[in-house]
Amino acid sequence: MSWHPSISPMRLLFITGIVILLCSVAFSGCTQPVIPSPGPVSTTPPPGVTTGAPTQPQVPTKQATPRGSDYLTYSNPQYGFSMSYPSAWTKQENAGSSVVTFTSPSGGMGDIPATMRVAVEDLSANPMSLEQYKAAQLAKKKGLESFNLIYDQALKGPGFSGWKIAYTGNQGTLMEWVEVYAIKGTNAYILTFTSKEDKYASNVVPMDTMVKSFQIT
């Protein structure tokens, strides 16, 4: 006759609890972790960051390059020089102490047109260097009311070495001048550009073109 040991109810309850606990531990490794759903995305940019279309860099505008058809050529065989001048400007020879004077179109009643004058001075009786001549001319300008020297610089041109100065002063109205001095042989060549100070910017291109075109032959 076989023998079956008896199991008390309390022992049976304890064993059942152990089995349930082991099963719970075994199945817990098979469950997928719960991933929280993402919250609303903030559309506010962080400090220092701007939104919208990128700003295009501003490109500085350039002054128009004068065309050859906009300028005429003036030559003076007597004094051996030539230069270009705007075709819209008038030309007058032997006016006062100038060999030639070029004048911009008038803007109407009360306007002071811009001018470019070329004078030639004979230095045979009083020879001097370019630097000495420039210093003597500059000394005369300092007596001008409200005189203000803007720049004073050496200049290299076709067939000559020169000096260029720019200054402002008052002659009933505020004016601006650019002068170029060059010496070749016993002659001193003086280019004098004059403009109202508030119109100088609009006359820079023709002035610069005339100065750069000046040649001593």
Span 32-42, pLDDT tens digits: 444 445 455 44
Q: How far is CA 202 from CA 36, 52, 99, 104, in A?
A: 70, 38, 25, 11
Mean pLDDT value of segment 60-89: 81
Which of 100-104, 157-161, 166-170 is least confident?
Answer: 157-161
pLDDT of 187 over the 50 cut: yes
pLDDT in the model for residue 104: 96
The span from the CA of 73 to the CA of 86, in Å, is 9
CATH architecture of 69-216: 3-Layer(aba) Sandwich (3.40)
Provide the pLDDT for residue 62.
44
Which pair of structure tokens corresponds to residue 181? 């001095």
- Phi/psi at 25 (5° precision): -65, -40
Is the backbone of residue 108 left (phi > 0), alpha (psi -120 to 50) or beta? Answer: left
Average pLDDT, the chain: 79
Domain range list for the chain? 69-216
Under the banding of pLDDT at 50, 70 and 90, the label for residue 7 is low
Q: What is the CA radius of gyration of the chain?
A: 45
Contacts made by residues 129-135, CB under 8 angstroms, sequence distance 24+: 129/183, 130/161, 130/162, 130/163, 130/181, 130/182, 130/183, 131/163, 133/163, 133/181, 133/183, 133/188, 134/163, 134/165, 134/181
- Work out the pLDDT band at 159, boundaries 50, 70, 90: confident
Residue 156 has pLDDT above 80, yes or no: yes
Does the reported pTM lie above 0.75?
Answer: no
